[in-house]
Structure 1
Amino acid sequence: MVLISSEQGESMRVMPSRYSGVQAAVGADLFKHVSGSRVLMVGAGGIGCELLKNLVMSGFGEIEVVDLDTIDLSNLNRQFLFQHRHIGKAKAHVAKESALGFNPDAKIKSHHASIYEAQFDQAWFKSFDLVLNALDNLAARRHVNAMCLAANVPLIESEIDTVLRLRWQTQSKDISRLYNSKHPKRPDTLHRVGQKLFVQLFGKPEDEEETINEEQTSDNAKEMAHLLHEKEALKRLREAAGTPEYGKLVFEKVFTDDVKGLLVMEDLWKNRRPPTPLNFAEATSDPSVTSTPADELAWDRKVWSIEENTRVFLDSLHELAVDFIEQQKRDPEFSMSFDKDDLAALNFVTATANLRAEVYGLEKKSRFAVKEMAGNIIPAVATTNAIIAGLIVMTAIKVLAGEWSSCKNTWVARNINPERLDKPNPSCAVCTINSYTLAINTESASLGDLLEMVVKGSPGESPTSGLGIQGEIAIQEGERLLYDVEFDDNLDMSLSELGIRHATRVMITNENDDDETGNSNVSVILYIEHRDEFGMPAKPFFTLDGDRTLVPRPRAPSAAPDPPKATSTATNNKRPAVLIDSDLGGNKRQKQENGNGDGVMHILDEDDTVLLIE
């Protein structure tokens, strides 16, 4: 409370402003900037609930919230904006209404939608001063990051394990590891078996095996034969989807035949309990068992019997297969990814994990417990979310003030640990992607026009100049290859016929053998903006917006030379292998061996300015 003087010289009591504390902390000028800002928050889950509350209490101007998810019972232990009566409702809408209870004056717009939708295009992202990510999905985080790069909008990233990341023209670090275990040791890892089977049946099929060099693989011929046999068995299962025998075929393959195959390896079970194959007839012997109980809440917390797990497995498998087949009729490239909030998918993973537990004599889990493990849900994470959300808002204020020098990489364990910001890495395959906005009529322009006029067209500073890219060019959208030197079937098709419409991203890469330096090899992302009027008389055919100085793709480090051989002096002049990474829009990046001597190629992206909390 403060005192001010009236015109008559009398003192009057004035209640402090809702934002007086923030104003005192940051200053009146900066608070004016904060209160006039437009902020996008993507994700209204654990971090998002805390973050939205902090934003409205700190006086941020206009806030838009995007989240596709609905509220589930398992959310209530840490997503405090939601209550039991909200179960089944859209997170974005409920979060908005609950946040307005903290500050009725806040301006919030909510979207119950996917951030991938065309309405959230580059122009929409450009309308914000700052973007805050609170997503639990790596692919979606990468998409938002790419859109912020194209729109030149600062992005603050947050997540559960590596919790707070501030990005300014950067890309998330992706660390992958291989997981392979024939004998699960703990029940809390069994859900991974269910998720793996889900991907094998409904995800993208593995790439075709390369021709095996018999001389090079003579020492492991049995293993290679086994892998090929497994691949053919999986292919037959996928082809049987939708048939009456499908459920039995999958059950017996996973829980009977594969287990019997492991029992043949007697040495493996000398010091551990051997697995027990399941019998399909016995597991389905009780016709009264159902997967649709009257009390769904009790069913969610119950540890199901073997018969119940089998019934849930068969019913959820059938439901997923029907949906998968219908979706593939509309889109042959369709595939499913596991979503813990998809009931059929969660039922399938839970039943698979429990049946696998029965095989190995391990403890079975309830569906509620499996969802926690599969979604990395930690009940005690609410406090951590609050810390993260507070740090995000503090960082957001620094970003709006342009105080980059005071921003720090930060991670949280027992303490809050700040670290300096790393400078952008010129050898980073992600940081060197060239981004452009291409305005074009996707209905009239063909893929050939895009190739000849935009990609290969004469370079210059004019918006109607091309990029002048030479060499062997590849064009792709997501994981779809649209063109390369050996595949030109689509050149006469319009962009819209190929699915290239407004808000689509197209990746261009090249390999120019004529340039020994490699400096003309580039990766380019084109963000498509459809314009009805383009291509008409007195209108340009296209415009291209972006820095015309193409940054070359980093070259792979030279491999150490092999020891000289007395019998040969030949050298290998082949170009280094290139991997197309679909999660980053298909950019080609050089493969690098991980140095472990296992011959496995791993890809590591470099961050530049990243605030990291874990």
Structure 2
Amino acid sequence: VAKEAATKFNPHVKIVAHHANIKDDEFTVSWFKQFGIVFNALDNLDARRHVNKMCLAADVPLIESGTTGFNGQVQVIKKGATACYDCTPKETPKSFPVCTIRNLLSEVFGVSEDESAFDHSNDAENGEFSTCQFFVLDPALLYADHKCLTASEIAELKKESAALKKIRDAVGTEDFPQMLFDKVFQSDVERLRSVEDLWKSRRRPEPLSYKTVFAQATEAVAAKDQILRDDQRAWSLEENLVVFRDSLDRLSKRMMELQKMQDPAKPEPVITFDKDDIDTLDFVASSANIRSIIFGIDRKSRFDVKEMAGNIIPAIATTNAIVAGLCVLEAFKVLKEDYGQAREVFLTPFAAGRLLAPDTLRLPNPDCPVCGVFNVSITADLSRATLHDVVEDIVKKHLGFGDREFVLSNAVGIMYDVDETQNLPKKLSDLGVKAGSFLTIVDEDDEEPFLNVVINIEESTIDEQDKPVQSSLKERPEIPRKPRKSGPSNGEANGGQQQNGSSSTRLDTEGQGVKRAYPGDDAPPTKKAKLTTGGDEDVVVVQENGGAIIIDDD
């Protein structure tokens, strides 16, 4: 869909779309190396960290971006020149993006926010969002532009719309719970299972039948009142079905009462989700848990779901569009390798004075475990390469570790150190190493240790007469030493001023309005920004060298 939308703007652009998980094995460092620049617009911390790591290993510039409601940011990342995504520790997010892909669930909250019986509405007057409009009438309305759809896709949408309308018309009847259950948890899941490409590297979802589950729920039906009082325990499948049925009965009665009192001249009534509304909470919790069981995800208690559901972040198209435009502006500078003029830009629409807050790029954090390392790639014939080959031919000889003591590890744990040598004769494949794996070398020298070295494994078939592991570098690399630690003095820490526990070192550049002064900064002051007025209220700030025009509207 994204490809089709983009080609409408420029039909001559060649776009190759991939429907997959960016962490799949096929997307190796070599795959990333084919690009001149990477744009990142992912919505979760783990995937963003992964792309950051891969771009650094491939030495490909990355335009990292993200939005949270009305706020957004753009960051340029270049190995050795700027801070990376992990240079500043990130807190585990306590809120959840509403744009998480519904079909590839990996955690329970991706379930509870995407039931097909819900829609999202925006209260534009106060900027707040009420989620979960009860029952979408026509799913075709969820597509921004269905003119790009084929005749078969439109026919499928109409079929889907008719099925949902039939379910909606059954609200308040005895058949309603079964119709909704079998639509969402059986027929939709069976259709999803038929998309073969989605399940090459992940478990297929298992559809559920209402009659089958209900036949096993005799004890749960009898214990309904006790189940509804227990919000600290994750309910079983049968217990979730009981709560699902009961919450639908309560919501159906509320909906019919609203319809009776409804003024015909006003829009049709809806029931909006509220985490403090026990009826909607029970429906969301039971639906999420049933779908979790289908996808093999851990179930959550009603208490947990209530805590999670209070942190929904809506996706706002306008914010996404603004941030996408900022990404393109920064990409122009990256393509010219003009990192001195690149900016880290924050979109803060409710801040005083301006909508955009550009800042100079931060320098790399020397202690960053992701970009503060030395990267090297080796080619290995995994059918015969052993850990001994890597230790002796690559680490000791080619990388120059010689007799130094070091630890070699992978994602699983330590593979080799001076006291752990039993793995040396084992094949790399027997130790869990495969194409795209990373090995980390930590120098244990106390005086002048090398930087940590990260080895990227690229698989290839190598002639029997040649060594089974080979480096991509023709000469021995000069691995930098780890920077010496020095205590802070006069309120300063190594690398620049410290604010709130994180480094605030910035690249020396011009064109950023008023420049911060830093110790040892001998560069001439920046040029003052020109201020011009376009009327009584608008102020236009022109940055002569920054490549951006900022319009302030008070």
Give the one of 428, 435, 439 matched to 1:506. 439
Alignment of 1:247-258 (within 5 A): none
Q: Deviations over 1:61-90 (max 9, x none)?
A: xxxxxxxxxxxxxxxxxxxxxxxxxxxxxx
Rate the CA distance shift 1:307–1:466 in 2: closer, same or farther, 3 A.
closer
Q: Deviations over 1:286-309 (max 9, x none)?
A: 95854997999x999696648757
Instruction: Please report how far the alpha carbon of residue 550 of structure 1 lies from its aligned counterpart in structure 2 after TM superposition.
Output: 0.9
| Whole-Å separation in 1 of the counterparts to 2:241 and 2:356 | 56
Write the letter of the residue equivalent to 1:402. E
Give the one of 55, 58, 61 matched to 1:151. 58
Give the one of 420, 438, 449 matched to 2:378. 438
Rate the CA distance shift 1:405–1:308 in 2: closer, same or farther, 3 A.
closer
SS in 2 for 1:496: helix
Query: Structure 2: 5+ residue runs without aligned partners?
Result: 96-106, 110-215, 221-226, 253-269, 350-354, 490-497, 510-554
| Whole-Å separation in 2 of the counterparts to 1:142 and 1:475 | 22
Write the letter of the residue equivalent to 2:313. I
Alignment of 1:223-242 (within 5 A): none
Identity %, equivalent residues: 27
Corresponding residue of 1:400: 335
Give the one of 114, 119, 123 matched to 2:26. 119
Rate the CA distance shift 1:293–1:101 in 2: closer, same or farther, 3 A.
farther
Q: Is the 8 A contact 2:289 2:300 kept in 1?
A: no
Corresponding residue of 1:453: 393
- In the superposition, the TM-score normalised over structure 2's length comes to 0.51
SS in 2 for 1:482: strand
| Whole-Å separation in 2 of the counterparts to 1:159 and 1:398 | 19
| Whole-Å separation in 2 of the counterparts to 1:349 and 1:609 | 46
Instruction: Determine if the alignment matches structure 1 residue 524 to structure 2 residue 456.
Output: no
Corresponding residue of 2:424: 491
Instruction: Please report how far the alpha carbon of residue 438 of structure 1 lies from its aligned counterpart in structure 2 after TM superposition.
Output: 0.7
| Whole-Å separation in 1 of the counterparts to 2:232 and 2:461 | 62
Q: Is the 8 A contact 2:43 2:66 kept in 1?
A: yes
Give the one of 466, 475, 482 matched to 2:408. 475
Corresponding residue of 2:89: 175
| Whole-Å separation in 1 of the counterparts to 2:5 and 2:52 | 28
| Whole-Å separation in 2 of the counterparts to 1:510 and 1:163 | 37
Corresponding residue of 1:351: 302
Q: Is the 8 A contact 1:313 1:352 kept in 2?
A: no
Q: Deviations over 1:210-253 (max 9, x none)?
A: xxxxxxxxxxxxxxxxxxxxxxxxxxxxxxxxxx9xx99xxxxx
Write the letter of the residue equivalent to 1:437. S
Write the letter of the residue equivalent to 2:479. L
Write the letter of the residue equivalent to 1:543. S
SS in 2 for 1:493: coil
Rate the CA distance shift 1:165–1:610 in 2: closer, same or farther, 3 A.
farther
Give the one of 478, 482, 504 matched to 1:549. 478
Paired residues in the alignment total 346
Q: Is the 8 A contact 2:67 2:323 kept in 1?
A: no
Corresponding residue of 2:13: 106
Query: Structure 1: 5+ residue runs without aligned partners?
Result: 1-93, 181-185, 187-196, 200-243, 249-254, 260-275, 324-343, 358-364, 458-464, 561-593, 597-601
Corresponding residue of 1:387: 322
Q: Is the 8 A contact 1:438 1:528 kept in 2?
A: yes
Instruction: Please report how far the alpha carbon of residue 493 of structure 1 lies from its aligned counterpart in structure 2 after TM superposition.
Output: 1.5
Q: Deviations over 1:106-149 (max 9, x none)?
A: 21100011222332222222221111111122222222222222
Write the letter of the residue equivalent to 1:142. R
Instruction: Determine if the alignment matches structure 1 residue 377 to structure 2 residue 306.
Output: no
Q: Deviations over 1:388-412 (max 9, x none)?
A: 1111101111211232232122222
Q: Is the 8 A contact 2:400 2:476 kept in 1?
A: no
Rate the CA distance shift 1:439–1:198 in 2: closer, same or farther, 3 A.
same
Q: Is the 8 A contact 2:360 2:506 kept in 1?
A: no
Write the letter of the residue equivalent to 2:20. A
| Whole-Å separation in 2 of the counterparts to 1:123 and 1:498 | 22
Q: Deviations over 1:30-63 (max 9, x none)?
A: xxxxxxxxxxxxxxxxxxxxxxxxxxxxxxxxxx
Rate the CA distance shift 1:308–1:533 in 2: closer, same or farther, 3 A.
same
Instruction: Please report how far the alpha carbon of residue 163 of structure 1 lies from its aligned counterpart in structure 2 after TM superposition.
Output: 1.7
| Whole-Å separation in 2 of the counterparts to 1:553 and 1:353 | 44
| Whole-Å separation in 2 of the counterparts to 1:277 and 1:539 | 59
Rate the CA distance shift 1:352–1:542 in 2: closer, same or farther, 3 A.
same
Q: Is the 8 A contact 1:448 1:492 kept in 2?
A: yes
Instruction: Please report how far the alpha carbon of residue 478 of structure 1 lies from its aligned counterpart in structure 2 after TM superposition.
Output: 2.2
| Whole-Å separation in 2 of the counterparts to 1:438 and 1:413 | 44
Q: Is the 8 A contact 1:441 1:542 kept in 2?
A: no
Instruction: Please report how far the alpha carbon of residue 547 of structure 1 lies from its aligned counterpart in structure 2 after TM superposition.
Output: 7.5
Q: Is the 8 A contact 2:378 2:458 kept in 1?
A: yes
| Whole-Å separation in 1 of the counterparts to 2:425 and 2:348 | 56
Write the letter of the residue equivalent to 2:382. T
| Whole-Å separation in 2 of the counterparts to 1:138 and 1:179 | 8
SS in 2 for 1:497: helix
Write the letter of the residue equivalent to 1:490. N
Instruction: Please report how far the alpha carbon of residue 549 of structure 1 lies from its aligned counterpart in structure 2 after TM superposition.
Output: 1.3
| Whole-Å separation in 2 of the counterparts to 1:532 and 1:307 | 56
Q: Is the 8 A contact 1:171 1:605 kept in 2?
A: no
Instruction: Please report how far the alpha carbon of residue 530 of structure 1 lies from its aligned counterpart in structure 2 after TM superposition.
Output: 1.2
Instruction: Please report how far the alpha carbon of residue 429 of structure 1 lies from its aligned counterpart in structure 2 after TM superposition.
Output: 4.8
Q: Deviations over 1:531-562 (max 9, x none)?
A: 2115x2256741243881112234555599xx
Instruction: Please report how far the alpha carbon of residue 508 of structure 1 lies from its aligned counterpart in structure 2 after TM superposition.
Output: 1.4
Rate the CA distance shift 1:318–1:119 in 2: closer, same or farther, 3 A.
closer
Rate the CA distance shift 1:137–1:311 in 2: closer, same or farther, 3 A.
closer
Alignment of 1:187-206 (within 5 A): none
Corresponding residue of 1:215: none
Q: Is the 8 A contact 2:73 2:344 kept in 1?
A: no
Q: Is the 8 A contact 1:507 1:524 kept in 2?
A: yes
Rate the CA distance shift 1:417–1:605 in 2: closer, same or farther, 3 A.
closer
Q: Is the 8 A contact 1:167 1:608 kept in 2?
A: no
Q: Is the 8 A contact 1:293 1:299 kept in 2?
A: no
Rate the CA distance shift 1:100–1:132 in 2: closer, same or farther, 3 A.
same
Instruction: Please report how far the alpha carbon of residue 428 of structure 1 lies from its aligned counterpart in structure 2 after TM superposition.
Output: 4.7
Rate the CA distance shift 1:520–1:309 in 2: closer, same or farther, 3 A.
closer
| Whole-Å separation in 2 of the counterparts to 1:539 and 1:466 | 16
Instruction: Please report how far the alpha carbon of residue 151 of structure 1 lies from its aligned counterpart in structure 2 after TM superposition.
Output: 2.1
| Whole-Å separation in 1 of the counterparts to 2:395 and 2:419 | 17
Q: Is the 8 A contact 1:424 1:608 kept in 2?
A: no
Q: Is the 8 A contact 2:379 2:472 kept in 1?
A: yes
Corresponding residue of 2:536: none
Instruction: Determine if the alignment matches structure 1 residue 166 to structure 2 residue 117.
Output: no
| Whole-Å separation in 1 of the counterparts to 2:322 and 2:346 | 11
